[in-house]
Chain A
Amino acid sequence: MSTPLLVPQLGNEITEAEVTEWLHAPGDTVEAGEPLVMITTTKMAMELEAPVAGVMGAIVLGEGEIAEVGATLTVIETA
């Protein structure tokens, strides 16, 4: 099964966020809740955590790319 990691809704005025740093690489085994990626909005920077335990898939949006709220950043594959 694969679970996507999405850019979350961050308050009613923010529509997009920028990926600033990947903390894991594709193929890494990650725990649920482990920080995967740093994103930043105009106001704040935050870490997004793995939604489930599993193996991280391809990076859909790389460092410096700007994503709309709801966009997929990567997926986590579980057996």
Chain B
Amino acid sequence: MPKSIVVDPEQTQSAGRLAFAAVDLHAYATPFADEVEARGGAQLRAVLRHMMIIREFESMLASFKATGAYAGIAYLYKGPAHLSIGQEAAAVGAALGYRAEDHIYGSHRSHGEFIAKGLAAIDHLDVEALEAIMAAEQGGAVRDAVAHGPGGKAHAERFLLFGFLSEIFMRSNGFNGGMGGSMHAFFPPFGAYPNNAIVGASAGIATGAALHKKRAGSSSICVAHAGDGSTGCGPVWEAMNFAAMAQFDRLWADKGGLPILFFFTNNFYAMGGQTIGETMGWDRLSRIGAAVNAASAHAETVDGTNPLAVADAVARKRALLVAGKGPALLDVECYRYSGHSTTDVNAYRSREEMKAWEAQDPIALFAAEMTGAGVMDAAEVEAMRADVAALIEGVTRLAVDPAVAPPVDVAGDPTLIGRKMFSDQDITLGGPIEGLSPEGSATFRQIKRKARFGIGPDGPLSPLRAVTIRDGLYEAILHHMTHDARLVAYGEECRDWGGAFGVYKGLADFLPHDRLFNAPISEAAIVATAVGHALEGGRSLVELMYGDFIGRAGDEIFNQMSKWQAMSAGVLKMPVVLRCSVGSKYGAQHSQDWTSLVAHIPGLKVVYPATAYDAKGLMASALSSNDPVVFFESQRLYDKVEQFREVPEAYYKIAMGTPDVKREGSDLTVLTIGPSLYPALAAAEELETLGLSAEVIDVRSLVPFDYAPVLASIKKTGHLVVMTEANERGSFAMTLAANISRFGFSDLKAAPRVIGAPNWIVPGADMEDTFFPQVNDVIDVVTSEFYPSKRVNKRGIRNWDDRDLAKHGL
């Protein structure tokens, strides 16, 4: 309870001066001879070799992009090549500091980090473990593609490089089945988790991954690899704060901050904007650590041209993280020799600057150290370089060969990619978690006393006497929380307050902080961490207080939560349920129905129940699903009692995707989305008095959607109205109307009609009735457009001229 932490005015108002934990700059000073002594020649040779592998690998891509050929191999590579030539020491040094079980998340420029992490894992793991990993990957197909050559660890290296390159070339046997490519590659068995094409996106995802590690009691860490440019991204700041929340130390039973390292590869530029002197306020990137917490996030600036300086810093940060002192931040300075991409003409940097950094080439510097210390001689360095070139050439020959690395056959199987969007898997719950009983909770007992059906002899019961939508949600969530220890729920004001609309009311009485907690006002971090937590094997239930705040988590919902299952060709699962309430009475920025916006994005399941029975059953399905679900809940309906059927006390599920006939009729079909169900039902009652029988169908889910019940209905009625509270333009209601026109054209006697909200702002509380479709609007439409002989002008407000409004952008 935050109640246990008293905000004492005497303390807050005491005068003083804040001090900031000092941030070290380039503190590494270990003589090379000492490193040789401590690490031994073999490890240092591996460091040099790994840097050379990355350099050669990326030079190969550069050569394909620039000339269409490499080492006499002609190939047209059309995809992205964000190269990190010059930055190899940062990647290899970091990997030297990690353990195989540490998980890294990367950026658009993460080839080096991926290869370095993979090679380090190969060094750490024994041959037996490697063979098991290679056997498990695509039934051994990648292993077999590179079978020719030396065995053991050398085979594993070819496996790594081929699986990666094949992925970059988007071949079917790439590590992500060709669905990820250069900027989204990953290979979990080596601890290389997704890279990300959205600048800074990995910060939040890796933070969620670290949340999972903390909850699992793991002694390994997660790393967000990001560029200096990403320090301008709001979601990165949100992630750093989330990772540093005071509650981990002050309220959680298992104390300690999240085991996450924010690793900024600082090459001083974004694409063409210079961070240090132009676009950022910091003079040293590491300074931003001071904004995170009193420890300045243990920030340090280190020399990213020296792999051993990086390894030293990473190892020290790692030790802090494992000891529960996270988060940590590293500013790893280095320089990118290659352009941002192959179209970069370096218009933004001077020749002098580039020349000065050439002298800092990490591979040349390290080779010189090695020869200087007598670990290798010049001839050995050259032999190593030649050997590496042969390795890359060999792997490249295989990866361009369609017989060895077959392209993804989308022409032959046109819906192949579509089938990767959802895993369509459900978990089965085990028994109740021991020691976690809601019996002591007053809310639990209160709901137990309620009637399971909301209509009494005198009409609808009060929401205190019968089960409501809020209670339906609560019961499904309670069941999952008490039967699935992997499930974690959080969001703004979720714990003691019970969520702004009370769905979690009373859960804080018996759920520990690591199962239900208050998140900062960081919608991006809330969703991004939910994604990372789920990618690592957790299950996430997160809440945006209002659907209107979806914009604040746009990338996280639209690019991350939605896409990773497909971009991983099904390797990753995304059990995230994102609850969004749809508001009312608070005007333009708190009352919008954004279901259409979300349904537009491929890869998200979208539900919007309107009854207690449906809310409970759909929430149980959503929480059982391994697919991401955006779960909309109308604030106007939270108190709605069930009026169609008994809500079972026992746990049950309703499959997502099945519309439900709520009222049968024969003259017209009203298909409703969300709360429109209720005006539709009232209109149906009134139409009955005019001799018209309306069938009312509640979509319940927008994605997936089974058209069959609706088509069966219009076969009978010949008329369709689709009702939504979303703005009509581009709405899901329009999609439904268009598709039903097509699928059921011969059954329709008139064009379907969408009755939605107009294309302007939601007005304030007293004017809402003019915005959301009302009973009279339905009656006007039905009697004027479908049954003119029954025309009664109810003077619904909606008889405006849609074509004229469209001309004016409305």
A67 nearest CB neighbor, chain B only: B464
The answer to whether B502 touches A20 (Cβ under 8 A) is: no
Report the minimum CB–CB distance from A23 to chain B (whole Å).
11
* B158 sits at the interface (CB 8 A): no
Tell me the B465-504 residues at the A interface (CB within 8 Å).
465, 468, 470, 497-498, 501-502
Instruction: Please tell me if A21 contacts chain B, counting CB pairs below 8 Å.
Output: yes
Contacts A17-B464, A18-B464, A66-B462 given; indicate if A42 touches B442 (C-beta within 8 A). no
Residues A42 and B465 in contact in the complex (CB < 8 Å), given A18-B446, A20-B445, A20-B446 = no
- Tell whether, in the assembled complex, residue B639 and residue A42 are in contact, meaning their CB atoms are under 8 Å apart: yes
**Per-residue interface assignment for chain A, residues 27 to 48, with 1 indicating a CB less than 8 Å from any chain B CB and 0 otherwise:** 0000000000010111111000
Q: What DSSP secondary structure best describes chain A's contact surface?
A: strand
B502 to chain A, nearest CB (A): 4
In the complex, chain A residues whose CB is within 8 Å of the CB of B462: 16, 66
B464, B497, B498, B505 pick with most chain A CB within 10 angstroms? B464
Q: Does B449 contact A (CB under 8 A)?
A: yes
Flag whether A26 is at the interface (Cβ < 8 A). Answer: no
Is residue A64 contacting chain B, with contact meaning CB distance below 8 A? yes
Chain A residues with CB under 8 Å of B449's CB are 64
Closest B residue, CB atoms, query A41: B464
B463 adjacent to chain A (CB < 8 Å)? yes
**List of B residues within 8 angstroms of A43 by Cβ:** 470, 501-502, 505, 638
Question: Is B468's CB under 8 angstroms from A42's CB?
Answer: yes
B502 touches A44 (CB 8 A): yes
Beyond A42-B470, A66-B465, whether A21 also contacts B442 by CB under 8 A is: yes
Measured CB to CB, the nearest residue on chain A to B471 is A42
- Contact partners of B638 in chain A: CB under 8 A: 42-43
Residue B506 interfacial (CB < 8 Å):
yes
Q: Which of B361-385 contact A (CB under 8 A)?
A: none
| Residues in B neighbouring A45, C-beta threshold 8 A | 442-443, 498, 505-506
Check B442–A20 contact: CB distance below 8 A.
Answer: yes
A38 touches B464 (CB 8 A): no
In the complex, the chain B residue whose C-beta lies closest to that of A66 is: B464
A64 to B464 CA separation, bound complex (whole angstroms) = 10
Q: A64 CA to B639 CA in the complex, in Å?
A: 18
Please measure, in the bound complex, the distance between the C-alpha atom of A17 and the C-alpha atom of B462, giving whole angstroms. Answer: 10
Which residues of B in the span 491-530 have a Cβ within 8 Å of any Cβ on A? 497-498, 501-502, 505-506
Distance A73 CA – B156 CA, assembled complex (angstroms): 74
Instruction: Give the complex CA separation of A45 and B497 in angstroms.
Output: 9
A38 to B501, CA, bound (A): 18
Contact code string B781-807 (vs A, CB < 8 Å = 1, else 0) = 000000000000000000000000000
Distance between Cα atoms of A66 and B451 in the complex (Å): 13
Contact flags (1/0) for B426-462 with A, using CB distance below 8 Å?
0000000000000000110110010000000000001
**Max chain B Cβ within 10 angstroms of own Cβ: one of A16, A42, A45:** A42
Known: A20-B445, A45-B443. A40 touches B465 (CB 8 A): no
Task: Report the bound CA distance from A17 to B505 in whole Å.
Answer: 14
Contact residue among B443, B468, B470, B501 (Cβ-Cβ distance under 8 Å from A20): B443
Residues of A near B470 (CB, < 8 A) are: 42-43
Q: Chain A residues near B445 (CB, 8 Å)? A: 20, 64
A20 to B441 alpha-carbon distance, docked (Å):
9
Number of residues in B with C-beta < 8 Å to the partner? 19
Residue contact A42 to B443, C-beta cutoff 8 Å: no
Contacts of A40 in B (CB 8 A): 442-443, 446, 505
Residues on the B chain within 8 Å of A41, using CB: 464
User: Which of B442, B502, B638 gathers the greatest number of chain A CB atoms within 10 Å?
Assistant: B442
Judge whether A44 and B446 touch: CB under 8 Å: no
Contacts of A21 in B (CB 8 A): 442
In the complex, which residues 557-584 of chain B have their Cβ closer than 8 Å to any Cβ of chain A? none
Complex Cα gap A38–B446 (Å): 12
Interchain CA distance A41-B502 in the complex, whole Å: 9
Query: How far is A16 from B466 in the complex, measured between Cα atoms in Å?
Result: 13
Q: Which chain A residues border B501 with CB–CB below 8 Å?
A: 43
CB distance from A17 to the nearest CB of B (A): 7
> Which B residues are CB-close (under 8 A) to A42?
463-464, 468, 470, 502, 638-639
CB distance from B69 to the nearest CB of A (A): 68
Write out the residue numbers on chain A whose beta carbons fall within 8 Å of the beta carbon of B442.
Answer: 20-21, 38, 40, 45
Q: Report A58 CB to chain B, min CB distance, Å.
A: 21
Does the CB pair B505–A44 fall under 8 Å?
yes
Task: Kindly provide the distance from the CB of A65 to the nearest chain B CB, expressed in whole angstroms.
Answer: 10
The distance in angstroms between the C-alpha atoms of A41 and B443, with both chains bound, is 10
Residues in A neighbouring B639, C-beta threshold 8 A: 42
Residues of A within 8 A of B502 (CB): 42-44
A21, A44, A64: residue with the most chain B Cβ atoms closer than 10 Å: A44
Residues in chain B near residue A16, CB distance under 8 A = 462, 464
Q: Which residues of B contact A44 (CB under 8 A)?
A: 497-498, 502, 505
* CB closest chain-A residue, reference B445: A20
Question: A17, A21, A45 — which one has the most chain B CB atoms within 10 A of its CB?
Answer: A45
Bound-complex Cα distance A21 to B445 (A): 10
The smallest C-beta distance from B468 to any residue of chain A, in angstroms, reads: 6
- Nearest-neighbour CB distance to chain A for B157, whole angstroms, equals 60
CB closest residue in chain A, given B497:
A44
- Shortest C-beta distance, B543 to chain A (Å), equals 15
CA distance A41 to B638 in the complex (A): 12
Measured CB to CB, the nearest residue on chain B to A16 is B464
Smallest CB gap from A38: residue in B: B442
- Distance, CA A16 to CA B446, complexed state (A): 14
Nearest chain A CB to B535 CB, angstrom units? 34
Enumerate chain A residues within 8 angstroms of B506, measured Cβ to Cβ: 45
Contacts of A20 in B (CB 8 A): 442-443, 445-446
Residues of A within 8 A of B443 (CB): 20, 40, 45
- Residue of A with least CB distance to B639: A42
Scan residues 43-70 of chain A and give those whose CB is less than 8 A from a CB of chain B: 43-45, 64, 66
* Cα–Cα distance between A42 and B639 once the two chains are bound (Å): 7
Question: What residue of chain A has the Cβ atom nearest to residue B465's Cβ?
Answer: A66
Q: Nearest residue in B to A64 (C-beta to C-beta)?
A: B449
In the complex, which residues of chain A have a beta carbon less than 8 angstroms from the beta carbon of B446?
Answer: 18, 20, 40, 64
Bound complex: CA A59 to CA B442 (Å)? 18
Within B628-655, which residues are at the interface with A (CB < 8 Å)?
A: 638-639
Q: A38 contacts which chain B residues (CB < 8 A)?
A: 442
Whole-angstrom CA separation of A66 from B465 in the bound complex: 8
Smallest CB gap from B499: residue in A: A43
Report Cα–Cα, A56/B465, bound state, in Å.
28
Instruction: Tell me how far the C-beta of B765 lies from the nearest C-beta in chain A, rounded to whole angstroms.
Output: 11
**What A residues does B465 contact at CB under 8 A?**
66
Q: Which of B446, B449, B498, B639 has most chain A Cβ within 10 Å?
A: B446
* B81: min CB distance to chain A, Å: 54
Question: Complex formed: what's the CA distance from A20 to B638 in Å?
Answer: 20
The distance from the CB of B472 to the nearest CB of chain A, in whole angstroms, is: 13
B790 to chain A, nearest CB (A): 37
Known: A20-B443, A21-B442, A40-B505. 9 other contacts (CB 8 A): A38-B442, A40-B442, A41-B464, A42-B463, A43-B501, A43-B502, A44-B497, A45-B443, A45-B498
A-side interface residues toward B, CB under 8 Å? 16-18, 20-21, 38, 40-45, 64, 66
Task: List, sorted by A's number, 25 A–B pairs whose CB atoms are closer than 8 Å.
Answer: A16-B462, A16-B464, A17-B464, A20-B442, A20-B443, A20-B445, A21-B442, A38-B442, A40-B442, A40-B443, A40-B446, A41-B464, A42-B463, A42-B502, A42-B638, A42-B639, A43-B470, A43-B502, A43-B505, A44-B497, A44-B498, A45-B442, A45-B506, A64-B445, A66-B462
A-B interface, 4 closest residue pairs, ranked by CB to CB distance from nearest? A20-B442, A43-B502, A42-B463, A66-B464
